[in-house]
Amino acid sequence: MELLKQRILRDGVVKPGNVLKVDSFLNHQMDIDLINEIGKEFKRRFSGCPVTKILTIEASGIGIACITAQYFHVPVVFAKKAQSINLDGDVYTTKVESFTHKKVYDVILSKKYLTADDHVLLIDDFLANGCALLGLIDIVKESGAVLEGAGIVIEKGFQSGGRTIREMGIHLESLAIIDSMTESSLVFRQTDTP
Ligand code: 5GP
């Protein structure tokens, strides 16, 4: 997605540890006009998929998922990072290792909000090693819902997540794939889709 790539080039800041900061338009301050275009693009790429629910993980996926959901006209449900897990069986649970904080979180989702009748589109801001998406995929499997695919705003193609998810046969759409980045240069993968 050209608009997004131009914005990353203009305002993205590469930090040590392979972290790209996009706080000025995506992760802290949010440029809603840009995110509207992102939502429309996800709708275009998953048109024809009978999505009934958008699933994301707190915190930075939520805003993007909500704006995207306006184009699908379906609810958003987000997996919560739990302090402690209650084991009375009313929640799906999984573990996710945070790329940016290097911590393992328990993640929960109420069984009320995802069932075997659902067709799920996963949305997140970044794909790095894939832990967040794999956690969400676990939850979808537990629920018996159908996974329609995953939409990612920025994939860091030099990390393993994208390959892992594609090798699982999952329909993955990343709007910008970065093949390499340093403080002074950032190279995008050339893809068929603009
Ligand atoms: P993964 O689980 O794929 O290793 O990492 C994905 C999660 O880590 C995303 O939900 C995102 O919040 C965070 N993340 C991974 N890489 C980056 C990055 O370069 N910049 C920012 N801002 N967040 C990242």
The SS3 of residue 175 is strand
> What's the CA gap between 123 and 54, in Å, rounded?
7
> What's the CA gap between 171 and 186, in Å, rounded?
25
Count of domains for the chain: 1
Residue 193 domain-assigned (yes or no): no
pLDDT of residue 98: 84
Residue 82 domain-assigned (yes or no): yes
Q: Is the confidence at residue 167, as pLDDT, over 80?
A: yes
pLDDT of residue 86: 65
Q: Is the backbone peptide bond immediately before 59 cis, with ω within 30 degrees of 0?
A: yes
Q: Is the confidence at residue 168, as pLDDT, over 80?
A: yes
Residue ranges making up the domain that contains 94 = 2-184
List ligand 1's pocket residues with C-beta within 6 A.
19-22, 27, 60, 99-100, 124-132, 161
- Closest ligand 1 atom to residue 161 Cα is 3
pLDDT of residue 193: 66
Q: Is the confidence at residue 136, as pLDDT, over 90?
A: yes
Looking at ligand 1, which residue's alpha carbon is closest to its atom 22? 21
Residue 191 domain-assigned (yes or no): no
From residue 161, give the alpha-carbon distance in Å to each of 28, 112, 130, 194: 23, 29, 4, 22
**Position 44: which residue type?**
R
Residue 99 domain-assigned (yes or no): yes
Tokens of 116: 């075997």
pLDDT of residue 103: 87
Long-range CB contact pairs, 100-105, < 8 A, 24+? 100/19, 105/81
* Mean pLDDT, residues 110-133: 97
CATH number at residue 155: 3.40.50.2020
Residue 76 domain-assigned (yes or no): yes
Residue 147 domain-assigned (yes or no): yes
How does the average pLDDT of the chain come out, rounded?
A: 94
Instruction: Find the range with the poorest average confidence among 31-35, 44-48, 85-89.
Output: 85-89
Looking at ligand 1, which residue's alpha carbon is closest to its atom 19? 19
Looking at ligand 1, which residue's alpha carbon is closest to its atom 17? 19
Whole-number percent of the chain with pLDDT over 70: 96
CA 164 centroid distance within chain: 15
Residue 140 domain-assigned (yes or no): yes
Q: Is the confidence at residue 87, as pLDDT, over 90?
A: no
Whole-number percent of the chain with pLDDT over 90: 87
pLDDT of residue 15: 94
Residue 179 domain-assigned (yes or no): yes
